[in-house]
Each structure stands twice: as C-alpha cells, then as structure tokens.
Amino acid sequence: MTNIFQPYDGWELAYEAIRQSVGLLHISECWESIDIKGPDTHGFLERAATNTVPHKKIGYTAFCDEDGHLLALAWVVMHAKDAATLYVDKGLGGPLATHLQQVATTHQRDVSVATGCPTGLAIVGPQGLRVIQKVAGDDMIGLPYLGWVNQAIPNVGPSLICRCGLTGEYDYRVLVSPDQMAALAHHIEQVSGPIPTLSPAILSLLHIEMKSVSPAHCPPGMTAVNAGLHGVIGFNKPDFCGKQVLTDQKEGDRYVRMIMLQAKQDHPLVTVDSPDVMFDHQPAGTCVGGGYSPTIGRTVLMAYVHPEVAWPGLSFSIQSNGERIELEAVSSPVFITQSVGIARQHGA
Amino acid sequence: MTRAALAIPETEQAYIDLRKTVTDTFKQLVIEALMLEITAHDIENDTPLFGLGLGLDSIDILELVVGIERHFGITVTDDNMAAFRSVNTVVDFVLSHPEFKGIGHHD
C-alpha cells in the first residue's frame, strides 16, 4: 500500500488556493457520517472510541477492534446527551457502522447506528476565517479549533458549523440539508466573491505534508499505537475497544514507528518501484504515502520504519524508476502554515 | 517488515543515543512543567505541541522555555519560537544550538 500523490489537471491551483488563499470542498465528496442515537449514546461512544468524547467540543478519535487494529478515525459531534454524529473518510462509514453495531450488541447498549451522507461546504485555507466571518457573522472569530455551533445563516437557514481539519489550515465545515446546498453556495459567492471549488484529491497531499495519518496510510492489521496515533488514545480512560493491546504496545517494544522522509535532492516522485525503505543498505521499513511538496520544494514520504532508526537526521533511500533516491528523516510538521500565523495574531 | 535488529554504524548510533536522551529529557520537562497526568510513552515525538496534539498555549511555552534554558544550557529568544511545533522540532533546535554542549555540560 503506497499512496504517492498523483498530479492531476489543476492540482497546483488547488494547492495554492488552500495554502495561500481559500478553497471550497464539497463535504459529501470527502466524508460520510454515522448517526448514533439513544439514551446511552455518550456511554456507548466512550466504550467504542479510543479517545474521550467531549460534550461541548468536537472530539477526534480512533476506532479500533479489541486487538487494537485501526478501523477508522472520526470527528465526533455530541449534539445532545442522546445524539451524536461521527464524520469519517469516504468509504469507511459502512464498515465502521457495522463494527459499532456489533459493539452495541455485545455490550448491550441502547443505541441505534445509521450511516448517512452529510452535505455542505468546507471552507479551507488561510483566508477561511475572513470568509466564514462574512458568511456567518463576525462572532465566528471566537470559534476555537474543534469548536462547533448551530447557526442560522442569512438566506440559507439552519446550519452546523464545525472548525476542524488536518491540513494545518483554517477548515470551517458548514453542514446544511441537501435542499439548502444551492443557497449556501450562492450566499458564499455573494458575500465573498468567487472561491474555487476543489477536488478532494488534493487533501491527500496536504495531509501528508502535515503527517496527518489516515487509515489509508496503515497496512492491514496495524494498531493505533504502531500508527503513531497516541494523541487520539485516552490511555487514562477506564476501558475502550483495544485498550489492553494498545497500552501494552505503548509501554513495550514497538514493532514500527512512523517517520517523515524528505528527498535530499529536488526530485518530484510519482512512483516507487517498491515500498521498501532502506537504511545503510538494509531493509528498514515501508513507505505508505508521499508526494511532491511545493512549499518545501521536495518530495516528502511517510514511512513505518524499525524503531531503532526512527530518528530525524538519519539517512534512508528508496528506489524510483530504477534510481536510488536519497532521503533524510525530518521532524514534523515540516513548516508552519499561514493559517497558524494568522490564528496566533488573532489569538484564535 | 521484520523486527530483526539492524546493524547501525557507530557514528549514527552515537547520534541516536544523544537525540534519544535530549528527547526523553524534553518530554519529562513538558510533563513536569505543565503537570500533565501522562507519561513520556504517551507523547509521540511528532505530536504537535498546539492544537490537536498536546494542546499547549503561549503561557505553557514560556514555562517550557525556562526549563529548556535551565536543562540544556542554551538561550531561547523570541526569534526561536518557530521551533516550538513538536517535540522533534524542539529537539532539532536544541541539538543545533551553538551553546548546546550536551546534557549536564553547562553551569
């Protein structure tokens, strides 16, 4: 499994929009949703999710089986004590819903689980804050990262606005009912001027640059700890699916560790002959994704390598079109986005 | 991928040992300075210090700056704040700092 970003027509403009300005993404093209309802919704999610599920903020969590294998990563919005919605990458909604139904049955939880297709637009990029203020009001400056709010938008109607995302940029997701979509798109254009609508294909490159792991970057059977997802595992929680295995791995001998590799020379890499990553002429790991990063002017790769050599500063190599590409392990994130700079200025 | 031990050249091993020591020291500093109820094992080296990661704020960073100056014998200025992105980027900064002479090699 090696997801090397494949350039497509217009990808440079899409990249520039999100890193330098702002772009729109159709939420229905990027994510699926799962609605959880019932009096035991919060308790059920605490049992099923690796991370704590907050009531007033968006939760970000992994879902694993009892062996700690990663099934999905999800944003969680607790609408009320008895209702929540999970947002997961396209294609993962069905399998995760099946798993959650099994957990509910096994642990006799009084909840219903139903998949859905969310509709709305994501406003992504350093100018995202300026746009969302025009769309939904100046108060949006106070919406923190992982904040959400039910908001009536003029000329559109009720909406759920979530600030989340893994690109390192402002990412405001405006969720509306399907019959409000046209009105939302029209309203955004009216108040902000034309904003390009982008293909979700660009997201994979943006995520790789931020070393944002997704299940697509995990070989089958990889656990959340070996995937380096410590930040979304609440090890102090009383219990959750896979806790024993994940805790043992965290404190024991890790099989692999994820690192970011950067090509030492300017070499736009679009294929690799083999995912094998070499250290000092020895197989040391597996490349799982990569792409050419315009911001740093180098190809960056994500790889799982032997933990003894998973340190920034060490040299590795990979084969591409019969040529040996020299790589250096680097610290992540590799750069600070404009959005982060703007957020610090605003204290947002 | 096998879990068999790799043959690591001496120079690289010395670098790894130093980097590991600085990393572990900094993680402990984060836990103690911020009174976090976690262990060093809970912090992945590339975990962002802000946002989704450890969720630190600018006041927390000031606490860390004091600790870094004391433990590593280096001076941190406002111009160095870009280094405070993750554990690994802070360790990069410490290791490349001209005043850094090694753990415990300062007044």
How many other CB atoms sit within 10 Å of the CB of residue A154? 11
pLDDT score recorded for residue A126:
96
CA–CA min distance B54, chain A (Å): 7
Could you give the percent of chain A with pLDDT greater than 90?
Answer: 85
> A24-33, A274-283, B28-37: which has the minimum mean pLDDT?
B28-37
Q: Is the pLDDT of residue A97 over 90?
A: yes
- Residues in A closer than 8 angstroms to B16, CB to CB, are 308-309, 311, 314
A83 three-state secondary structure: strand
For chain A, list the strands marked E by DSSP: 3-4, 23-26, 31-37, 59-64, 70-80, 83-89, 112-116, 120-124, 148-153, 157-163, 171-175, 257-263, 276-279, 282-293, 298-305, 315-320, 323-330
Task: Burial-class residue B7 by CB neighbours within 10 Å (0-12, 13-18, 19+).
Answer: exposed
How many other CB atoms sit within 10 Å of the CB of residue B13? 13
Residues of A (222-281) whose Cβ lies below 8 Å from B: 228-232, 235-236, 250-251, 255-256, 258-260, 279-280
The residue with greater pLDDT, B85 or B106, is B85
d(CA A314, CA A327): 9
Mean pLDDT, residues B11-25: 96
Do the chains contact at A331 and B88, CB–CB below 8 Å? yes
Contact, A99 vs A71, CB < 8 A?
A: yes
Please report how many Cα atoms fall inside a 13 Å half-sphere around the Cα of residue A82, on the Cβ side: 5
Identify the closest residue of chain B to A286 by CA–CA distance.
Answer: B1
pLDDT tens digits, B65-86: 999 999 999 999 999 988 998 9
Please report how many Cα atoms fall inside a 13 Å half-sphere around the Cα of residue A323, on the Cβ side: 12
- Residues in B closer than 8 angstroms to A333, CB to CB, are 46, 48, 85-86, 89
pLDDT score recorded for residue B2:
42
CA–CA min distance B45, chain A (Å): 8
pLDDT score recorded for residue A271:
87
Q: Is the pLDDT of residue A114 over 90?
A: yes
β-sheet with A171-175: strand ranges across: A23-26, A120-124, A171-175, A157-163, A148-153
pLDDT tens digits, A243-285: 999 999 988 766 788 999 999 998 788 889 999 999 999 999 9
Do the chains contact at A280 and B6, CB–CB below 8 Å? yes
d(CA A177, CA A156): 10
Contact, A56 vs A81, CB < 8 A?
A: no
CA–CA min distance B3, chain A (Å): 6
* This prediction's pTM: 0.92
CA–CA min distance B86, chain A (Å): 7
Do the chains contact at B41 and A250, CB–CB below 8 Å? yes
